[in-house]
Amino acid sequence: MTVTLLARPDQSAPAAPEARTARPWWWCAASLTAAGTAGAALLVAANRAAEWDRGTQFGLFWLGMLVFTLPAVCWAVHRSTGPRLRVAVLAGYAGFTFLPKLLRNPFGPLYHDEFAHWRQSKQILLDGRLFEQNPIVKVVGDFPGLHSTVASVSALTGVSVWHAALLVLAAAHVLVVLGVTVLADEIWQDGRVAAVAAVIYSLNSSFLFFDTQFGYESLAIALLVWTLVALHRAMRGPARRSRAGWAAVTVMLSGATIATHHLTALALIAVMIIICLVVTVRAVRRGTPVAVPLTAWALTLAAAALVVAWLALVAPRTAGYLDPYLARALDQFAGMAGDGGGGGRTLFRASSTPWWERAAAFAAQGLAAIAMVAAALRLRRGHGAEPVARSGALAMLVLGSCYFPAALLILTPSGAEGARRSWAFSYLGIALVVAPLVVALLDRAARRAGRAVTAGLLLGACTVVLVGNTTAGMNPSYRFPGPPVFGSDTRSSIPEVRAASAWLRATQGRELRIVADRYSGLIFGSYGGQNPVTGSVTFPTYDLYLTQPGQPAPRRLIEQLDAWRFGYLVVDKRMAREVPEIQIYFETNEPIPHDGRPAFTLGQLTKFDSTPWTIKIYDSGNIAIYRFDFERVAR
Amino acid sequence: MTTPRLLVVAYAALLVLALGRGVPLASPVLLLVVLLALGELWLRALAAESMPALARLGLATVAGLVSLPFTAIGLHAAGVRIHEESIAAGLAGLLAAVAVVVLLRERAGRVAGDPRLARTAAAVAVPGLLTLVVGVAAVRVYDALPHPPEPGYTSLALNGWAGDVAGPVRIPAGGLMLPIRVSSAGEPEAVEPLRVRVGDRLVSARPLRVSADTTRAVEVYVPSPPDGCLHRIEVSLGATSTVLYGRGAETGRGGASGRGARAC
């Protein structure tokens, strides 16, 4: 009986009257359309400044972002804005924040993982099969959620795979913003707080670029947010039938999440466990209805069972793929603690970001910490009395607190990637807990001038956090176009490499097993349709390149290559002239020194011109392609 | 909208989509209609209750969207090749299955329609459309503006039968014509020295005009090596080169692979 009281009155009254908007909607639409157009023009100008190397791209970019986002946030948070207009503003905000990534590479894949997903989607359309192994990111094929969606959209509509991907990614981006809004509304039952939560979530380091890329997390994060919405509704369900219905929606969406992305599925389970623990503790201490923790645990166990089953039966390679990153990160962290800093990485080393972006990156962490402490104190005072809502808020406080320990991992080379990815999840907690604090601060000032000052300060803080988090989360070469840079995932794809991959595909066919470096591998594995290997501890193909001229190639490696029918070797001679921008030649943990000088001599890379077991079939100056003739190795 | 009407709309959109595939602008909109209808049916089948309009719209969109991978995985599990027709058929089957559940549930009474839903959908669609227009315009403008030239290159490759060479080539006594492919992109016209070396010996050298942004096939003469031993044959054009290995006419009994050739 008590459970029935948990139902929100507005949910059962669909035609409840809405607050009227004091300002006309057309004024909002016109002003934001004008601001959006100006913002887009400035983003274009920023990209042009970057590609012509004028050095003004950072300022133009942020000016373009703020020209739209600041007034949009004002409209979304203003007290007089009606609920529908608020939704419209947030939808526009989500759409506009997709623009930076859209303008970065509107016509094809550019980021590392995008090549893998693009290839995987094309492969589905070519071969009609799922779960094919991907040579660029090994486990991508085991999580077909995104690329099967993209391939289906492309097949049904006739648009290209890339355009289908853009449609799906734009939809997912809007769904994330609206999902956070709905989730915040579930917890706080206040449209303004919900809007602020969506805006705060959009300040996370992955929002503008990483989670808008053609990568599985971009879709999976939207699924995670909406799964949490369904979970909350299941916990709050007024009757068994209602809870069962929402439980089914929760299980369905958590199933879709695990079919889309491993880390997001694991994060979802972690968030669900946090929620379970909080509601259980509160049920024990406060005597809240037992149906709430029971529902939460049942759904968490169901989702966990799905995740475990998928990882064990469909994607057993995932643990082996993820484990080294975590293990090495912890080793490096221990090394930093033990040897006074050895094994760590220097933030913004050799980065071209301006000083104010770097300063903002550090300030953003401080502001987040201050906001979380203030939000925790406010929560302690008992704001938000409804049991499920309060449990949700406390769970989000715990989730948001996970942001700070993860930030320490950014100091280790192996942990940095994981830390960045975790922020998209933990920031959800920060957003949902800090949002009511922001609204309370706005409402606190009695006078109009005071409110304006408070709003200005809060907007300023948000700007610093947005700039800082984005800077911490993405290299400039990912954010902006520019002159070719060797050893950058995004800028080393020069026409010469693409031409070489096109030639190999045209003359020798696709799905050939080739040995390559990281950057050639991206192009040959995606545009070229080949199966490149770029080396690993168990298959150290980089030893081929490292062998000194006149020395025999490692026999065991040659036998492996021969046994596994590797046919071609790609050599990028830039490895002997330049240092890779991201400090990787082949793979993250390669045994190759990175001391600011090229790790290879030209002799090491051109020795294949004189080894009888390599036939040089193509050369374009930087790129050479050799065909293996393993019969000649022993002679 | 009643469930039968929703079904009619979804099937009509799916039919048009399946028959008139590839119609610019219309196809994505039709697919959106199908997915939204399917998502709404999922909600009616599973969580048959009223909810805030934005939550309903978002959940319907998400449920419709995840129907695509569910369909693809189902097709894969059934051993059906994934392509346009099979996906459309799979979606049609899924629509029917979910609709049956909805109709069975609705026998006990259906949830009243929410008049806010259409207006909330418009509140999302209109800014979405405006952003799309602004975004497409920005991309077009950006694309139309001049960009810095990308670095050019000249490539040299073994061509024709030579491109398939997998081991040492047996070169007849009279030598052979080796086909090569010369390609240039993004570089001005130039004259480069085309050289052939057999072992350490330069056997021919001549200038070759490489026109800008062209690809051409060229043949170079490779004389027979002096003996049946393995000889390195290099064809170079400026700084680029191709390398293969060959044996002279004396290795006739040994075949192209050179097996059985006398010790060198």
Residue B60, Cβ density class (10 Å: 0-12 exposed, 13-18 middle, ≥19 buried):
buried
pLDDT at A2 (0 to 100): 35
B243 located within any domain: yes
Average pLDDT over residues A47-65: 95
Looking at the structure, tell me whether residues A282 and A144 fall in a common domain: yes
Share of chain B above pLDDT 90, in %: 78
Same domain membership, residue B87 and residue B7: yes
Residue A320 has pLDDT above 90, yes or no: no
B169: distance to nearest CA of chain A, Å?
11
Give the tens place of pLDDT for each residue, A521-546: 999 999 999 999 999 888 999 999 99
User: How many structural domains does chain A have?
Assistant: 2
Mean pLDDT of A246-273: 96
CATH number, domain containing residue A522: 3.40.50
CATH number of the CATH domain containing B201: 2.60.40.1710
Which pLDDT band, with edges at 50, 70 and 90, does B242 fall under? very high
ipTM: 0.89
Query: How many C-beta atoms surround the C-beta of residue B223 within 10 A?
Result: 17
CB contact under 8 A, B116 and A18: yes
Exposure of A70 in the CB half-sphere (CA atoms within 13 A): 18
**pLDDT tens, B22-50?**
677 789 999 999 999 999 999 999 987 88
Is residue A560, in this structure, part of any structural domain at all?
yes
Of B114, B141, B166, the one marking the end of a domain is: B114
Alpha-carbon B239 to chain mean position: 32
Query: Is residue A333 over pLDDT 80?
Result: no
Q: How many residues are given for chain A? A: 635
Are A386 and A11 within 8 A, CB to CB? no
**What integer is the mean pLDDT of A568-575?**
96
Same-domain status, A574 and A475: no
Rounded Cα gap, residues B134 and B139, in angstroms = 9
- Note whether B81 contacts A129, CB cutoff 8 Å: yes
pLDDT in tens, A100-147: 999 999 999 999 999 999 999 999 999 999 999 999 998 999 999 999
Q: Which residues contact B234 (CB under 8 A, 6 or more apart)?
A: A609, B195, B196, B197, B241, B242, B243
Residue B218 lies in a domain: yes
Residues A503 and A465 in one domain: no
Q: What is the pLDDT of residue B250?
A: 62
Q: Is the dihedral of CA A42, A48, A52, A53 positive or negative?
A: positive
Domain for residue A488, yes or no? no
Do A486 and A574 form a contact (C-beta atoms < 8 A)?
yes
Distance CA A75, CA A95 (A): 16
Strands B190-198 and B231-237, bridge-based pairing: antiparallel
Beta-bridge mates of residue B157? A618, B181
> Which residue range is the domain that position A125 belongs to?
3-10+19-479
A490 in any annotated domain? no
The reply to whether B126 touches chain A by the CB within 8 Å rule is: yes
How confident is the model at residue A335, as a pLDDT?
62
Contact across the interface for A612 and B245, Cβ inside 8 Å: yes
Q: Can you tell me which residue has the tokens 């769970």?
A: A395
Length of chain B equals 264
Q: Is B230 on the interface with A (CB under 8 A)?
A: yes
Contact B123/A at CB under 8 A = yes
- Residue B261 is assigned to a structural domain of this protein: no
pLDDT on residue A259: 97
Is the model's pLDDT at A349 over the cut of 80?
no
Same domain, A354 and A462: yes
Whether B155 sits inside 8 A of A223 (CB atoms) is: no
Q: Are residues B8 and B108 in the same domain?
A: yes
Residues A476-490 as b or e (16 or more Cβ within 10 Å = b): bbbbbbbebbbbbbb
Residues A82 and A157 in one domain: yes
pLDDT greater than 90 at residue A20:
no
The answer to whether the CB atoms of B69 and A507 lie below 8 A apart is no
Q: Which residues of A touch B72 (CB under 8 A)?
A: 124, 130, 144, 148-149, 151-152
Total count of domains within chain B: 2
Question: Where does the pLDDT of residue A9 fall: very low under 50, low under 70, confident under 90, or very high at 90 and above?
Answer: very low
Is residue A7 very low, low, confident or very high in pLDDT (cuts 50, 70, 90)?
A: very low
- A186 backbone dihedrals φ, ψ, rounded to 5°: -60, -40
* DSSP state for residue A312 in the 8-state scheme: I
- pLDDT score, position A67: 97
Whether residue B188 is found in the same domain as residue B96:
no
DSSP state at residue A9? G
Q: How confident is the model at residue B82 (pLDDT cuts 50, 70, 90)?
A: very high
- Partner-chain contact B156 A618, CB within 8 Å: yes
Q: What is the DSSP string of A51-79?
A: HTT-S-HHHHHHHHHHHHHHHHHHHHH-T
Predicted confidence at residue A327, as pLDDT, reads: 66
Q: Which one has a higher pLDDT value, A603 or A422?
A: A603
Residue A554, in any domain of the structure: yes
pLDDT grade, residue A331 (50/70/90)?
low
Model pLDDT, residue B253: 45
Same domain, B10 and B109: yes
Under 8 Å between Cβ of A396 and A436: no
Residue A10 pLDDT: 43
pLDDT of residue A512: 96
Q: Is residue B110 one of the residues assigned to a domain?
A: yes
Within a domain: B140: no
Chain A residues touching residue B153 (CB < 8 angstroms)? 494-496, 499, 620-622
Confirm whether B46 is domain-assigned: yes
Q: What is the pLDDT of residue A289?
A: 77
Amino acid in the structure at residue A544 = L
Flag whether B9 is in a domain.
Answer: yes
Residue of A nearest to B25 (CA): A157
- Of all residues in chain B, the one with the smallest CA distance to A47 is B142
- In sequence order, what are the residues at sequence separation of 6 or more whose Cβ sits closer than 8 angstroms to the Cβ of residue A366? none
- Asked if residue A568 and residue A440 are part of one domain, the reply reads no
pLDDT at residue B259, as a whole number: 45
Residue B44's domain comprises 3-114
Residues of B in contact with A37 (CB under 8 A): 134
Contact A631 B167 (CB under 8 A): yes
Work out the mean pLDDT of chain A and round it to a whole number: 89
Give me the torsion for CA of A247, A142, A215, A494, rounded to 10°.
180
A342 and A262 fall within a common domain: yes
Q: Among partner residues A157, A179, A615, which is closest to B243 by beta-carbon distance?
A: A615
B163 chain-A contacts, CB cut-off 8 A: 507-508, 617
d(CA A426, CA A431): 9
Say if B134 falls within a structural domain: no
Q: Are residues A120 and A58 in the same domain?
A: yes
pLDDT at A1: 33
- Is A496–B116 a contact, with Cβ atoms under 8 angstroms apart? no
Higher pLDDT residue, B59 or A10? B59
pLDDT value for A4: 37
Please check whether residues A369 and A465 belong to one and the same domain. yes
Instruction: Note whether A591 and A569 are within 8 A (CB).
Output: no
Asked whether residue A472 falls in the same domain as residue A599, the answer is no
> With bands split at pLDDT 50, 70 and 90, how would you rate the model's confidence at B111?
confident
Q: Which residues contact B27 (CB under 8 A, 6 or more apart)?
A: A156, A157, A158, A159, B17, B20, B21
Contact B228, B262 (CB under 8 A): yes
A447/A525 same-domain check:
no
Note whether B152 contacts A495, CB cutoff 8 Å: yes
- Stretch A226-240: mean pLDDT, rounded? 90
Residue A366: CB atoms within 10 A of its CB come to: 12
Least confident stretch, A19-23, A392-396, B172-176: A19-23
Identify all chain A residues contacting B70, using CB atoms and an 8 Å cutoff. 256
Same-domain pairing of A475 and A504: no
CB contact under 8 A, A40 and B134: yes
